């Protein structure tokens, strides 16, 4: 547990401006049956080669992706796994244009039936300031041996027959390379999939099993469909295959797999989300992208969530944008505004993830966690506003118990205007309520006589 806290501290302390030290960790998982009361959880993770720092070692440039995996059993209220793994990346040239590959890893765990939280912390071994955290919850339920069941769908970038049982990607006679970010398109024009079927004979009475593959958009509009017939020779089997997605436009899609018994009418289905980016097919339009909007989370966002997200954009939206939003009448107009608001600020058009938005709301959440004052959310306080706007300070100088002055803090930002500072002083009423009393950042409140005004 000490290792986890240490790496988390590094991630929080060294977080900097949006465009600096970019590092993103991608992760996915799939659940497979192990026994009636246990399941196998496969965790997949990756990072971009170009995001790592490389050192010259014995004539090779070597980088290393560190991954800490932390698994918490929520029902037992205890940590069941916490360890760090390293993945090496060796290249002959560190020119950014040549570092186009991903560093991909996988770890498998056999766990009893329960509810779990998983946290993965990725960091650059040669530059610990570059790190990212991904967390998610999942539930392991028991597989009923009297009912047909299908595992999760694993998305991959490739597969091939193999006898190397020691490989981390080996499964049932195949080497299956996972695709943790579920992104296809450009040089990856084929989607590869793998899933397993259990207790087949209980519900399928016909030896011929119809397997229907469908690709839909997020509005459930059918984009592509095909089917095949499988012979049910055994009570359990796995399905592995590939789908050409070169014809798909840029967007978010669902892969749906349905198995049908024509005799009994029984059917069972699984689905998996994936992303497509084809630069030449659907080039982004900065002012509007109706199709992108229709497949985004904003299409169905509630009024409450729209209002909340707009409020939290306060520190980065311009005056014209504020005036534009004030004129909007309908919920759909406001949804489209937010979609385009974040789209204009997206720094990496290839990624399905808006890194700028992700970082911004990560700061909002951290501000709520660390700078809440009384009944005021952390992001609304002076400390929270400065943190969200400029990032974590390089240094914090605390003065909590000065004899002749109020408590105050000096935040230094080495990367802003040649070591800018912000000074926060405790309110007259105390209670750890701090306000900004001076700053050397252009545009922020400045008072060169701030020290004198701190006197009790």
Q: Are residues 125 and 155 in the same domain?
A: no
Q: Are residues 23 and 63 in the same domain?
A: yes
Place of tokens 């059993």: 73
Q: Are residues 271 and 175 in the same domain?
A: yes
- Exposure b/e, 430-452, CB count within 10 A at least 16 = b: eeeebebbbbbbeebeeeeebee
pLDDT reported for residue 304: 92
The pLDDT of residue 12 is above 80: no
Q: Are residues 115 and 2 in the same domain?
A: yes
CB 72 within 8 A of CB 129: no
In a domain? residue 296: no
Q: In the structure encoding, which two tokens stand for residue 398, read together?
A: 């605390």
In a domain? residue 31: yes
Domain boundary among 250, 281, 312: 281
pLDDT digits (tens, 9 = 90+) for 232-283: 667 888 999 999 998 888 888 899 999 888 777 788 999 999 988 876 554 4
C-alpha separations of 215 from 242, 255, 280 in Å: 13, 5, 21
In a domain? residue 156: yes
Rounded-to-integer distance, Cα 399 and Cα 44, Å: 45
**Closest-CA residue to 194 (of 159, 142, 144):** 159
Q: Are residues 173 and 275 in the same domain?
A: yes
Q: Are residues 202 and 270 in the same domain?
A: yes
User: What is the extent of the structural domain holding 271?
Assistant: 144-281
Instruction: Count CA within 13 A, CB hemisphere, residue 6.
Output: 8
Q: pLDDT class for 402, splitting at 50, 70, 90?
A: confident
In a domain? residue 364: no
Q: Are residues 181 and 240 in the same domain?
A: yes
- Which of 1-5, 95-99, 237-241 has the lowest average pLDDT? 1-5
pLDDT digits (tens, 9 = 90+) for 162-178: 999 999 999 999 999 99
- Which of 52-66, 271-285, 393-407 has the lowest average pLDDT? 271-285
Within 8 A by CB and 6+ apart from 5, the residues are none
Q: pLDDT class for 229, splitting at 50, 70, 90?
A: confident
In a domain? residue 331: no
Q: In the structure encoding, which two tokens stand for residue 341, read together?
A: 């608001």
In a domain? residue 437: yes
* Chain CA centroid to CA 418, Å: 33
The region that residue 182 occupies, defined by phi over 0 for left and psi between -120 and 50 for alpha, beta otherwise, is: left
Q: Are residues 119 and 170 in the same domain?
A: no
Q: Are residues 132 and 167 in the same domain?
A: no
pLDDT digits (tens, 9 = 90+) for 286-343: 444 566 787 788 888 899 999 999 999 999 888 888 889 999 999 999 999 999 899 8
CATH number, position 148: 2.60.40.2550
Torsion 47-48-51-52 (CA) sign: positive
CB 52 within 8 A of CB 65: yes
Q: Are residues 148 and 246 in the same domain?
A: yes
Please write down the long-range contacts of 427-433, taking CB distance under 8 Å and 24 or more positions apart.
431/374, 432/373, 433/373, 433/374
Rounded-to-integer distance, Cα 356 and Cα 207, Å: 52
CB 252 within 8 A of CB 352: yes
Place of tokens 């084929």: 190
In a domain? residue 352: no
Report the relative pairing of strands 183-184 and 267-276 from DSSP bridges: parallel
How many separate domains does the chain show? 3
Q: Are residues 87 and 38 in the same domain?
A: yes
Q: pLDDT class for 344, splitting at 50, 70, 90?
A: confident
Domain boundary among 122, 143, 164: 143
In a domain? residue 93: yes
Instruction: Say whether 210 sits in a helix, a strand or coil.
Output: strand
Q: Are residues 93 and 164 in the same domain?
A: no
CATH number, position 49: 2.60.40.10
Domain boundary among 116, 143, 170: 143
Report the relative pairing of strands 38-48 and 102-112 from DSSP bridges: antiparallel
Helix, strand and coil content of the chain, in percent to the nearest 5, comes to 20, 45, 35
């Amino acid at each position: 547990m000490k290792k986890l806290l240490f790496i988390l501290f590094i991630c929080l302390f060294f977080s900097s401006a949006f465009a600096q030290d970019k590092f993103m960790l991608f992760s996915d998982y799939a659940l497979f049956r192990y026994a009636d009361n246990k399941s196998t959880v496969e965790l997949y993770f990756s990072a971009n080669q170009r995001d790592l720092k490389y050192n010259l070692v014995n004539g090779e440039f070597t980088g290393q992706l560190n991954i800490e995996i932390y698994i918490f059993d929520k029902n037992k209220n205890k940590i069941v796994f916490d360890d760090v793994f390293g993945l090496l990346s060796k290249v002959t040239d560190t020119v950014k244009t040549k570092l186009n590959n991903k560093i991909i890893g996988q770890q498998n765990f056999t766990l009893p039936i329960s509810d779990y939280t998983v946290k993965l912390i990725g960091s650059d071994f040669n530059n610990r300031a570059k790190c990212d955290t991904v967390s998610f919850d999942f539930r392991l339920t028991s597989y009923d041996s009297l009912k047909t069941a299908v595992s999760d769908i694993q998305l991959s970038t490739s597969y091939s027959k193999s006898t190397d049982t020691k490989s981390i990607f080996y499964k049932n006679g195949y080497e299956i390379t996972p695709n943790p970010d579920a992104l296809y398109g450009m040089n990856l024009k084929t989607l590869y999939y793998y899933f397993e079927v259990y207790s087949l004979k209980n519900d399928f009475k016909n030896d011929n099993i119809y397997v229907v593959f469908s690709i839909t958009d997020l509005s459930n509009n059918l984009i592509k469909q095909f089917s095949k017939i499988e012979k049910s020779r055994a009570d359990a089997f796995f399905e592995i295959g590939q789908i050409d997605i070169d014809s798909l436009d840029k967007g978010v899609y669902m892969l749906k797999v349905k198995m049908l018994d024509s005799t009994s009418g029984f059917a069972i289905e699984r689905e998996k989300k994936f992303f497509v980016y084809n630069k030449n097919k659907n080039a982004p339009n900065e002012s509007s992208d109706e199709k992108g909007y229709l497949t985004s989370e904003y299409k169905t966002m509630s009024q409450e969530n729209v209002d909340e997200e707009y409020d939290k954009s306060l520190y980065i939206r311009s005056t014209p944008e504020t005036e534009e939003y004030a004129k909007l009448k309908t919920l759909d107009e406001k949804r489209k505004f937010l979609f385009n608001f974040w789209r204009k600020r997206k720094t990496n058009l290839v990624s399905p993830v808006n890194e700028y938005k992700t970082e911004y709301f990560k700061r909002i959440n951290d501000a709520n966690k660390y700078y809440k004052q009384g009944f005021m959310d952390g992001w609304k306080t002076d400390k929270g506003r400065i943190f969200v706007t400029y990032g974590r300070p390089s240094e914090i100088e605390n003065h909590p118990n000065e004899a002749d002055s109020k408590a105050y803090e000096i935040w230094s930002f080495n990367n802003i205007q040649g070591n800018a500072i912000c000074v926060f002083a405790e309110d007259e009423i105390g209670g750890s309520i701090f306000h900004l009393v001076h700053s050397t950042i252009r545009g922020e409140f400045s008072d060169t006589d701030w020290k004198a005004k701190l006197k009790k």
